[in-house]
A and B are shown apart, each in its own frame.
Chain A
Amino acid sequence: MRLTPQETGAQVAAREFPTNRGGLCKKGWTAAELLARSDRLTAPLRRTGTAFVEIGWDEALDEIADRLRSLRSTHGPDAVGVFGGGGLTNEKAYQLGKFARVALGTSRIDYNGRFCMSSAAAAGNRAFGIDRGLPFPVSDLDEARTILLLGSNVAATMPPFIGHLSRAREHGGLVVVDPRRSETARLTEQGGGIHVQPAPGTDLVFLLGLAHVVIAEGLGDPGYVDRRTEGFDALRVSTNAWWPERVQQVTGVPVPLLRAVARRLAEPGGTYILTGRGVEQHVDGTDTATAAINLALLLGLPGTPGSGYGTLTGQGNGQGGREHGQKCDQLPGYRKITDTAAREHVARVWGVTAESLPGAGVPAVELLGMLGDEVRALLVHGSNVVVSAPDAAAVTRQLARLELLVVCDFFLSETALLADIVLPVTQWAEEEGTMTSLEGRVLRRRPAVPAPPGVRSELWIMRELAHRLDAPGTWSTDAAEVFDELARASEGGIADYSGLSHELLDTGIAAHWPFPRRSDGTPRLFADRFAHADGRARLVVVQPRRDDAAPVEPTELTLITGRLLEHYQSGAQTRRVPELLDARPELTAQLHPATAGRLRIAEGDPIELRNERGTVRARAEVTTGIRHDTVFLPFHYPDDARANLLTQAIIDPVSAMPEFKRTRVSVHAVLDAPAEMTAAAR
């Protein structure tokens, strides 16, 4: 995207680029409206009672530093937590991880990418020894004849991407797996491919069934499996237990369809398997992503020219944000914080001793669960947990129990509204930095417009706080300098950026990591070897968890959550763009006509979704595009329209990803619609 500054804000123009090929969706075209809004935060705010008052920066920073220091001396460094975001630039994400460990001395840092990419990341690391969303340039997909897209609604979340699916669609080879007939699933219509609608939460069994058919019918690539993988025998035995008829009983996917998909994947001409949040945001998300990788390995796809496996990143910097230390167990360069050599290396770059670095902290859901108890202060950067975290009501209650909540944001988000102190920061078009895209390509972000007076960069805030806390080391506010430090810290790690600099990126090169010194980067991984020491990928045996035997009340529905074309994440930004809000002003819940009929609900009726955690109010959207036992809610809305009031804070044991897509709810018609609801309907 290219921005031309205007008197207020900026004008958006598209720019030719491989990911979007010069296209933008509605969110992109309207993004500049965020730059000139009157409700932009321009001064630090302090809560007094129920209101905020503006205060000076020194006053705000002094107060924060004093209270952090006092909490730390009374309760120890782990009493302070940090919650980051996958939208932060690489520089800010890196500096935040360093700030937590060096300036605060706390192990308790994690970020909202835990709600987003952690399962795919864990699966990638386990199978390949490395986690890069797409281990190939996104434009490689253009040549594919078959693409299996599992749990991803790119047509709504990343519309320009669907251009990369064109050839597969022309050959009838787009296979979309989604319980909803989503915008993306509809791309399979008119000969575009196959839509498979398994019952929510049964993707893992579906994938085991595909692996079974691939092995049983000899559709795989035994030479590849022999040469490049470990663990085939155990995988074969484990998938033997998932013959197609058994898979049908669990998933609702008919046997002929299962076989047809397996056979299609094995056809020559280039096959890719891509996963998204729909299969990953589950308590068995890591295992489900692993099952997709196993399938890809059986077919000989990863590292073979013209084919592969990848996961589609969700947030602006979803890839870079998970590489440089925002994760509780991680140091820059995708290093493990528990690895002695990694600690030595990073401590040297930071100018501290390895012993002074804390150990592994706790992942996001667990961290949020500690608020008010072990964790007494929380710093939030680029995240709106009150809307986006599971069991949002509990999160809201716990935030209220904190002794200090500091939120850095550019608008008064729902989370900022609960803060003791809010710090106004720069947003995307006002700052220098880099982001790493879904294909592992490091991209420059440049300021197009000046930030409003009174607004500061988070790099500046971290330096000021670090100085006030007498932290060792250097705390640059210059993004290029911070990047250079990041590059050194990442050197020799998995996500090695050491050959990169802002200067080099400004030449316009396509820089895919790993990009060690004196290299040209790595557009395609796995051509010769995988990242495990022996160069082989791991086939990891996975099985569904057993708790699916729990009884379901006949009248209960399964709630799945997701995104709309018009909104992004918690909606804190997109709900502030009139054109986007007008298109999707309020929460709608998708229901099947048969279900709606049974519940005596008509299109447009106000309804309530309830379970033991909360009640959500929405308007009914009656559509045959959803399974009759399933209800869909987007998660972009605040207050009693928060889908996450219903979701449960249970997590994947490997990745700590919460379960967002398999929540039991009951749905009810609301007979007497309150006045504001009627008014909102216009």
Chain B
Amino acid sequence: MIRVVVVGYGPVAARFVEGMLPALRRGEVSLTVLGAEGEDAYNRVLVAEYAVGRADRSRLDITDTAAAVDAGADVRLGEAVVAIDRQLRTVRTSAGQRIAYDRLVLATGGRANVPTLAGMERARRERTARAQEPSALDRGARPLPTGIHALRDLADADSVLATVRAGGRIVVLGAGVLGLEFALAAREQGAAVVVVHHGDIPMPRNLDLGGGRMLARAAREAGIEIAPHSRAESVLLRTDEGETQQRFDALVCADGKQITGDLLLLSVGVSARTELAAACGLAVAAGILVDGVGRSWNDPAVFAIGDCAQVADAQAHPAGEHVPGAPTGLIGPGWRQADVLADLLSGRPVTATRERPTVVMLKAEGVDLVAGGDVSADPWDEPDHADGCADAPQVTQWADPARGTYVKMVTRAGALTGFVCVGLPRTGAELTLLFERGAELPADRSVLLRLDADDAGAAASGDPFAADATVCWCNGVTAGRIGEAVEEGADSVECVASKTRAGTGCGGCRGRIAELLARTATV
């Protein structure tokens, strides 16, 4: 029996556990799962919706832990792994236990970044510090001041929810997709929101200038204040009467601007939890370095999946050299990695995950935004002949700011390599499909722009009384054939029916036959 130990119990670990259940039930493996949080795995994608009160807790449930336990899994919640001994193949837990493994699966996830701001010194966690107890997993040397939160787990969400419910004012630091999503949702639920970011446009990692401007405008129209070009430097804290603890009062920017609020939400990215892996000498860059099936670069008994795992090709990177890239931070790739690894460790045939370019979609009612790939190319860029002319990016662009629509498609050799789509839901959905499949775009790109038009997909026939227009679908009778019947002397719907069978099926076209008769009568 192969002893499998899983470190972490987030949505990716839960998916892996589900994939292992058949092998577990057959008695081929044993499975021990250690989750630092005291909760069953839940869907972090929807934590922001939960934090604004739009989703209740039951919507975050993502797995049936009881079924895993029934199948024989040993699921230990509220127990963290504090050290890994790769020589002895054991992990040590916060409860002081040692658990032996044959295969170790690290699914430690990521933690929200905490910026270094004056007024909250030492709240930022040392990157290599290892927690000795579950609750300290993400804590810095000092806790965050009251009223300052990162939005990563349910405890954060509960605090934020109280402020949203009270209709308070929330300062969001950072304008990535998560920050914007939260801002839009919180605003919709009645909070006042100001988004502070140091760049020119929101979501600069995903959007080009045009798309970013469209988003900023849409966000402002939704009632959100945006403070661009604002580098946060410090936080001001205050002590309310009758309180002993200091709490957040305002964010101070480099230009001296003070932005007050009831709550500061830090949304400045996520980093992989790699300290356990690094401490036991596993190859680590931004994440734990693994191959296409999730296996560690330097220990074949250790695997990593999800937000802590960085998939890269070991051969392509000489030892000691910096490995660029990072975990995707998205659930879709994480679940695919979990599926593949469960196949591998259950002895099923395995196809290594093809790292697909990721698509970012803003989850917000009223703002349709989806983007993927590299969108930095400009329509008038000179082709770089060194790349080979066929491979030069071609850019198709549509902008109609007054009506809130914007599209940019970047193609290489006909295939979509990057896109931004704002305000055109069907076009955005279609571009997403094309992008994920690496499919070739229609030669006529405007076809994609027309998908959101009212007449999209309608047959081109304009005149419903044109000779070749079908009147009776049940019997395939055209207006022309009915015209002939009229010329042959048919003067009523019944006569037309007996001559042509038009109207003898569902009867739905009888009105139009009568219209046709009336038209010919007046000629």
Interface positions of A (Cβ within 8 A of B):
14, 21, 23-26, 29, 155-156, 159-163, 166, 181, 183, 185-186, 189, 195, 197, 199, 215-216, 234, 236-237, 240-241, 243-246, 248-249, 251-257, 546, 549, 551-552, 554-555, 565-566, 583, 592-595, 597-598, 623-625, 628-629
Contacts and interface: CB of A to CB of B under 8 A. Distances in A.
B62 A554 contact: no
B182 to A, nearest CB: 15
Contacts of A14: 504
Given A216-B55, A592-B447, A594-B447, A243 B46 contact: yes
Contacts of A197: 457
A139 to B, nearest CB: 14
A364 B370 CA distance: 45
Contacts of B398: none
Contact of A624 (B351, B426, B443, B460): B460
Nearest to B450: A624
Given A240-B60, A256-B425, A595 B442 contact: yes
A549 B506 contact: no
Interface size bracket, B side:
35 or more
Given A162-B506, A256-B368, A554-B414, A237 B429 contact: no
Nearest to B65: A237
Contact of B61 (A186, A199, A237, A566): A237
Interface string B54-89: 010011111110000000000000000000000000
B506 to A, nearest CB: 4
B110 interface: no
Nearest to A600: B443
Given A23-B504, A554-B438, 8 more contacts: A23-B506, A254-B368, A256-B365, A549-B354, A594-B442, A594-B447, A597-B443, A597-B444
B396 interface: no
A549 B336 CA distance: 9
B125 interface: no
Interface in B448-484: 456-460, 473-476
Contact of A552 (B64, B438, B460, B506): B438
Nearest to B336: A549
A254 B354 contact: no
Contacts of B460: 624
Contact of B429 (A26, A254, A552): A254
Given A241-B43, A248-B429, A554 B447 contact: no
B474 A249 contact: no
Q: Considering the complex of A and B, which 9 residue pairs feature the smallest CB-CB distances, nearest first?
A: A594-B442, A254-B425, A159-B474, A554-B440, A163-B506, A25-B474, A181-B457, A594-B447, A23-B505
Given A26-B501, A160-B505, A155 B442 contact: no
A246 B360 CA distance: 10
A554 B443 contact: no
A429 B343 CA distance: 57
A255 B425 contact: yes
B437 interface: yes
Contact of B443 (A255, A546, A549, A594): A594
Given A162-B506, A554-B415, A565 B440 contact: no
A29 B501 contact: yes
B428 interface: yes
Contact of A155 (B64, B432, B473): B473
A163 B473 CA distance: 12
Given A23-B504, A159-B474, A552-B437, A546 B425 contact: no
Contacts of B458: 181, 186, 189, 624-625
B314 interface: no
B475 A29 contact: yes
B361 interface: yes
Given A243-B46, A249-B359, A552 B439 contact: yes
Nearest to A197: B457
